[in-house]
Amino acid sequence: MKKENRGSERKMSPDELKKGELYQADMFGYTSNDKIKKLWSNAIVVYLGSENPKGNKLITNYRFLVREQQRLTDRTFLQYIKELK
């Protein structure tokens, strides 16, 4: 079985995300949790902005609207978000 090479795709940086813009989530290899994969896999998402919990400057969460649900992610998740072209 041949593995797909996803390493050549550029990861999104927090500075590139624009509030209200559409992006595509690509969950290839992210988790073995089927519920999470089903929610995010190839979903068109809206970026709703970032926030710092309880004013903590060291932690930033990123809020997305995915399949009519708001979800918070951390920075590591941004590698699975790509711009729609």
Q: Among 27, 73, 32, 28, which residue's Cα sits nearest to residue 50?
A: 73
- Residue 8 pLDDT greater than 60, yes or no: no
Percent of the chain with pLDDT over 70: 81
Looking at residue 26, what is its pLDDT? 81
Looking at residue 50, what is its pLDDT? 92
Looking at residue 31, what is its pLDDT? 64
Domains of the chain by residue range? 20-49+56-83
- For 24-45, give one letter per residue: b (16+ CB within 10 A) or e: ebbbeebeeeeeeeeebeebeb
33-64 confidence digits (pLDDT tens): 778 888 888 899 999 999 988 878 788 999 99
Looking at residue 85, what is its pLDDT? 76
Reported CATH class of domain 20-49+56-83: mainly beta
